[in-house]
Amino acid sequence: MAVFSVFLTLATPALTFFFFLLIVAFLAYCLYVRHIHMKYDHIPGPPRDSFLLGHSPSFLRIMKNGGVVHDKFLEWAEKYGPVYRINGLHYVVVCVSSPEATKEILMSPKYPKDKFVYKKLFSLFGQRFLGNGLVTARDHEKWYKQRRIMDPAFSSVYLRGLMGTFNERAEKLMDKLADVADSKKEANMLHLVNCVTLDVIAKVAFGVDLDLLKNSSPFPKAIETCLKGMVYYLRDRFFQFNPKNRGYINEVREACRLLRTTGAQWIDERKTAMQNGDEVPKDILTQIIKTASQEDSMTEEDEEFMLDNFVTFFIAGQETTANQLAFCIMELGRHPDILEKAKKEVDDVIGMKHEISYDDLGKLVYLSQVLKETLRMYPTAPGTSRHIAEDIVIDGIHIPGGINALFNSYVSGRLDKFFKDPLRFDPDRFHPDASKPYYCYYPFSLGPRSCLGKNFAQMEAKVVMAKLLQRFDFTLVPEQTFDILDAGTLRPKSGVLCSLSHRDYKNK
């Protein structure tokens, strides 16, 4: 008892001093937050709901809830105008929907991707994820070196040669849908197109046959786990410190490891085959290795970049195209008149052919309009951000340097001032004779950092949709929701459930 009393006597001053330091640190942090916020107070935006920490209304809760965050941004854009600020603790972000500012900032290499988002994607919960690949590299020289290596693998000449694989994998989907139609079962179209797009990227990029419509694989689950983990990691700063989340965090780390170890294995096998003079597929991986080997020397860092881009292509090349296809099927199911018009064009251009050619794709003009309108309403990768180092004026508002600017294509695509009746699905907005949207439509971003795989994705989507429209009639299963889920990318929450039947060609 005496020892305990002595301990309390000695510990009490130390504890008192410790808590005093905590209070001083907290007050200093609050003063820092106030200083940062006052710097940007002149920019319109939602009022802060606390005096000390000063975050915007329910900001932290909104960022955790992916189902509403983009609609909230849209609401604020309509209320506060083309540039407004959001406060979140000591972070201030400027959200921009001004076409002129979008053009100036996204089209220029002067504005790097912001550190808060893209540096965090280097790893997930301590496990390397996208690293310094094409999407996440902030240094222009490092990015440009990678882009120069990757460009030949996405040239128009090379993409023409992929039509055979696009057709082959789309045919496997048609066979699966025929079985579903014959059995009178419901089809989860998001799941099925996910299988096909992952099959395509594995085959054309890495020469691997997954055949996910018949075989099981850990990759779809790993991709979904990584993307969901990415949302938690970016939007909930305290997620990793909650002991209840340890099990899930370990799942995310394991999923990252699976993708990277698989990539390392496939790359090493291909490099060995090429060094031995073996015949190798003329796919994207071969092209990347060949181009990279033409550099002065391949460093260990270059090897890591190659692996970073493997993970990037493996996820982005599958996920975004699959979601676009699912949203497209959903909207066609909701608009029978547009569906019939798209079918008629496919009948006129493709007829009964099973092999769609590259030249056929250029003739599917209305289908292109449908796919573009799908991306206007449902941009699968809905935003990007840039760091504004120096002072800038946007729509007459002075923006002090040192801030990050958020560009949200979901918001700009649904603003009345850019698109008349924006919540109406209308492919004629993208008719060849219609006026082009002025820097308010950018589902693949803009400028030098725009998506490298844009043409690849649109070719694949058009082949799959053309074959689907050619072979099947489909209707949406009643009572499903049309809600959007933000799981790193935007996807239909219901999965798009359809009833299918074979088309009757006798009356064509």
CA proximity to 439, closest of 97, 60, 4, 8? 97
Residue 187 is predicted with a pLDDT of 95
Q: Is residue 151 part of a domain?
A: yes
Q: Any idea which residue has 């949709």 for tokens?
A: 465
Record the tokens describing residue 98, joined without a space.
Answer: 């001004």
CA distances from 41 to 34, 35, 54, 165 (A): 10, 10, 11, 54
Residue 476 covered by a domain = yes
pTM for the model stands at 0.91
Domain hosting 432: range is 97-507
User: What does the angle CA 121 – CA 125 – CA 131 come to, to the nearest 5 degrees?
Assistant: 30
Specify if 419 maps to a domain.
yes
Backbone φ, ψ for residue 299 (5° rounding): -90, 170
Q: What whole-number distance in Å separates Cα of residue 413 and Cα of residue 426?
A: 12
Residue 243, token pair as written in the block: 């002991």
Amino acid at 361: L
Find the helix or strand (DSSP H, E) in which 187 lies: strand 186-188
Domain assignment of residue 77, yes or no: no
Backbone angles phi, psi at 150, to 5 degrees: -80, -30
How far is Cα 397 from Cα 77, in angstroms, rounded to an integer?
A: 15
DSSP string across 56-124: PTTHHHHHH-TTTHHHHHHHHHHHH-SEEEEEETTEEEEEE--HHHHHHHHT-TTSPBPHHHHTGGGEE
Q: Are strands 497-502 and 186-188 parallel, antiparallel or unpaired?
A: antiparallel
Q: Is residue 425 part of a domain?
A: yes
The pair of structure tokens assigned to 56 is 């915007």
- The answer to whether residue 46 sits within a structural domain is no
Residue 253 lies in a domain: yes
The tokens for 407 are: 């560009």
Confidence at residue 49, expressed as pLDDT on a 0 to 100 scale? 61
CATH, residue 332: 1.10.630.10
Q: Are 95 and 384 in contact (CB under 8 A)?
A: no
Does 451 count as an annotated binding residue? yes
Residue type, 107: M
- Predicted confidence pLDDT, tens digits, the chain (508 residues): 565 565 556 557 777 777 778 888 888 888 888 888 888 889 998 876 655 555 555 555 555 554 567 888 899 999 999 999 988 777 888 999 999 999 999 999 899 998 888 888 899 999 999 988 888 988 888 888 888 888 888 888 888 988 999 999 999 999 999 999 999 999 999 999 999 999 999 988 888 899 899 988 899 899 999 988 998 888 777 888 889 999 999 999 999 999 999 988 998 899 899 888 888 887 778 877 876 676 556 677 777 878 888 888 888 888 889 999 999 999 999 999 999 999 999 999 999 999 999 999 999 999 999 999 999 999 998 889 999 999 999 999 999 999 999 999 999 999 999 999 999 999 999 999 999 899 999 999 999 889 988 999 999 999 999 999 999 999 999 989 899 988 878 999 999 999 999 998 644 4
Angle at 119 between CA 294 and CA 122, to 5 degrees: 60
Give the pLDDT of residue 25. 85
Of 1, 83, 15, which Cα lies nearest the Cα of 405?
83
Q: Domains in the chain: how many in total?
A: 1
DSSP 324-344: HHHHHHHHHHH-HHHHHHHHH
Rounded Cα gap, residues 80 and 74, in angstroms: 10
Give residues with Cβ within 8 angstroms of 91, minimum separation 6: 116
Element (H, E) at 470: helix 454-471
Bridge partners of 405, per DSSP, are: 94, 386
Both tokens assigned to 461: 């989507």
Residue 453 falls within a domain, yes or no? yes
**C-alpha–C-alpha distance, residues 14 and 436, integer Å:** 68
Provide, for the chain, the percentages of residues in helix, strand and coil under a 3-state DSSP scheme, each rounded to the nearest 5. 60, 10, 30
Q: 351 — alpha (psi -120 to 50), left (phi > 0) or beta?
A: left
pLDDT of residue 506: 46
Q: Which two tokens stand for residue 207?
A: 């020469």
Which position has the token pair 């003739």? 363
* Distance separating alpha carbons of residues 470 and 475, to the nearest angstrom: 15
